[in-house]
Amino acid sequence: MIIMAIALICSCSVFAQQKNLSKMNEKARNEYLVKLAREVTNNFGPGWIQGKVVPVISPLKTYEEDEEAEDFEKPLIGRKYYEVKFSYDRATHEELGWSFASFVNIWEDTGEPMDVIFGNYYGLDFINIPYRSWVKAGVEDSEKMYFVDMWELLPEQMREDAKKEIKQRK
């Protein structure tokens, strides 16, 4: 029982709490962004970050209105986020559709990931189902790196928990 509790604590993400990144100094914020982006990429695309890649952190961006935006996106308009991008060496790796291995967008106000996109055009968004819910659900390797019907992958209780969390954010 004690070993199981220790294992659970060790396996929990350091990102279980929300963090307002605007209140952090630049060095701490950048360390946080890189660590979280690596974690997200490795959880959903193991092996995509090759070698000692130095990630690029974008200046603060704003989620902009898009005339094709769906209803669930409208509350996001105006929110600020950072993009953490991991490149790859085209000389030693297969060429991908885009010029990066992956990038993770992270909300400034909560420190939570918005989405992860891979250089092969696949990815996941965490807008309707938060990142922590995906991690708790233990998404299988075969389901990683694909746009999927995310609700169908989660057990019923996880879907209900995610719906409650979304309502609380509104």
Query: What is this structure's pTM?
Result: 0.72
**Each residue of 26-56: b (16+ CB within 10 Å) or e?**
eeebbebbbebbbbbbebbbeebbeeebebe
List, for residues 80-117, the tens digit of each pLDDT value: 999 999 998 777 777 777 788 999 999 999 999 999 98
Residue 80 DSSP class: E
The DSSP bridge pattern shows strands 113-118 and 123-125 to be antiparallel
Q: CB count, 10 Å around CB of 86?
A: 23
The span from the CA of 44 to the CA of 64, in Å, is 26
In this structure, what are the phi and psi dihedrals at residue 123, rounded to the nearest 5 degrees?
175, -175
List, for residues 125-146, the tens digit of each pLDDT value: 888 888 888 887 776 544 444 4
